[in-house]
Amino acid sequence: MSNFNFRRLSFLLLSILGIMPVVADDNNKVDLTPELHGVIRPRWEMDTKGGENRFQLRNARLSVNGRLAPEIDYYFQADFCDRGKIMFLDGWGRIAITPALKLQAGQFRIPFGTDCFRGPGNYIFANRSFIGGTMNNVRGVGAKLSYTFALPESSSLLVEAGAFNPTTITDQNIWVKKMAYGGKALYSVGNVKLAAGAETLIPDSVRINSLTASATWTSGRWTVEGEYLNKHYVNNAHKAAHGYNFFVDYAFPVNAGVFNRASVQGRFDGMTAHSNGLRNDLGQLSTTHSARNRITVGGTLSYNYKAIHCDLRLDYEKYFYHHDTTVPVGGGDKICAEMVIKF
C-alpha cells in the first residue's frame, strides 16, 4: 500500500470522526494531511508451572500526527484495549524555535531511558524488560526542550530535558510546589548509540532520583544492547533499586509464504527489590516488586513492506526468584505467543 493510499485512508477515517483534514498550504510548502498509524497485538500466554493460560488483546493503538507549518507538528495516541482498558497516552504539540532547538508541551513520555521508548510495534520481545515495563514506564504532563548539536556527518548528539507534574497523567488538577524532572543525552556515531539520563520523580511524598545509561550496537543483521538503571529513594525510604537489561537480536531474510524476514532473540534482565514510590497504610514505602532475574529466548517471523509489518512471535521466559518469594500465577516461567500488526 502506498503512502498516497495511507493519506486517503487518513482522510476517510478522520472525516467519519468529524475531523476534516486541511489541504496543503502552498505558502508554507508543507502537506497538512494528518497521518494515521496503528498497532494491533493479540496474544496467548501459559504459565508453565501450573498450566494456567489466557488470551489478551494487549494493545489496540491508534495515533495521529501531522504538521501545521514546517516548524509546527503535533501527535495524539490512544490505546483502545490495553488488556481491556482504554487509555489516552500522548497528546503534544512541538515548535521548532530554530532548526536545532525545539519546544514540546503536552502529555508524553519523560525523556529518560532507552527500552521504555520502544512502542508495541517495535518490541524485540513479547514482554518488555523490567527496566522498560516496571521500573521506568513513566509518562508525564509538562514541557521539554531538545537541542541537536551539529557534529561531523557520521555522528549526532541530541540533548533534551523537561519539567512535569509530579502526579500521574490521570490527575492533572492538583496544584503543587515540587515538580518532576527528566533529561537525556543520545550520542550516535556510526552504528553505535550511547545514551545517558537523569530523572527525579515524586510519585507520592518521597522523591526518587534515578540514573540510567545504555549502549546499542547495530550492524547488518545484528543488534546488541545493554542498559542499566539505578533508583535512589531519598532519606533511605527504601533500599536503592538496580535494573539491568542485555539482549541480542539476529535477523535474516526468508521466503516462507507471506513472511520475508525472520529473527532470533536472547535476553538476560533483572532487578533488585523495587518500590513504586507509593506509601502503604503505615505511611512507608514497601517493596512492590520482588527481586528477580529472567532469561528469555524467542523467535519471530515477519512480513515487512514499507510502513506495514506483521510479526508472529514465540517467547519462553525462565524466571529466577529468591527462595522465600511467593510467585503469583503468571509471574514465573511462561510461554507467550503473539501477533503484531503495524501500519
**186-218 pLDDT per residue, tens:** 999 999 999 999 999 999 999 999 999 999 999
Greater confidence (118 vs 322) lies with: 118
Helices (H) and strands (E) in the chain, counts: 2, 16
Q: What mean pLDDT is predicted for residues 238-255?
A: 98
pLDDT at 35: 96
| Residue 61 belongs to some domain of the structure | no
pLDDT at 171: 87
In the chain, the percentage of residues whose pLDDT exceeds 70 is: 92
Residues 6 or more apart whose Cβ sits within 8 Å of residue 248: 222, 223, 224, 265, 266, 267
CATH of the domain at 162: 2.40.160
Q: Give the residue from 63, 203, 57 showing the smallest Cα distance to 139.
A: 203
pLDDT at 341: 98
Cα 184–Cα 188–Cα 191 angle in degrees, nearest 5 = 140
| Residue 80 belongs to some domain of the structure | no
Range of the domain at 137: 127-342
| pLDDT bracket for residue 20 (50, 70, 90) | very low
Q: What mean pLDDT is predicted for residues 55-79?
A: 97
pLDDT reading at 3 higher than 70 = no
Answer left, alpha or beta for residue 258, where phi above 0 means left and psi between -120 and 50 means alpha. alpha
Q: What mean pLDDT is predicted for residues 103-124?
A: 97
| Residue 273 belongs to some domain of the structure | yes
108 — phi, psi (to 5°)? -165, 175
| Residue 188 belongs to some domain of the structure | yes
Rg (alpha carbons) of the chain, rounded to whole number: 21
pLDDT at 30: 84
Q: Give the residue from 60, 141, 165, 159 showing the smallest Cα distance to 93.
A: 141
Q: What's the rounded Cα separation, in Å, for the pair 257 and 254?
A: 9
CB 3 within 8 A of CB 307: yes
Range with the poorest average pLDDT among 44-58, 176-190, 206-220, 320-334: 320-334
Mean pLDDT over each residue of the chain, to the nearest integer: 92
pLDDT reading at 6 higher than 70 = no
| Residue 122 belongs to some domain of the structure | no
| Residue 82 belongs to some domain of the structure | no
Q: Give the residue from 340, 209, 204, 342 showing the smallest Cα distance to 278.
A: 204
CB atoms within 10 A of CB 175: 5
| pLDDT bracket for residue 236 (50, 70, 90) | very high
| Residue 57 belongs to some domain of the structure | no
pLDDT reading at 80 higher than 60 = yes
The two beta strands, 259-271 and 241-256, are antiparallel
Question: What is the number of domains present in the chain?
Answer: 1
Q: Give the residue from 214, 259, 204 showing the smallest Cα distance to 234.
A: 204
Q: What mean pLDDT is predicted for residues 53-65?
A: 97
Cell numbers at residue 318, please?
525462565
Q: Residue 50 burial (CB < 10 Å; 0-12/13-18/19+)?
A: exposed
pLDDT reading at 152 higher than 90 = no
Q: What mean pLDDT is predicted for residues 171-189?
A: 95
CB 343 within 8 A of CB 5: no
pLDDT at 14: 52
pLDDT at 150: 87
| Residue 46 belongs to some domain of the structure | no
pLDDT at 187: 97
pLDDT at 24: 46
Greater confidence (52 vs 322) lies with: 52
Q: What mean pLDDT is predicted for residues 158-183?
A: 95
pLDDT at 321: 96
- Which stretches within the chain are classed as H helix? 3-16, 130
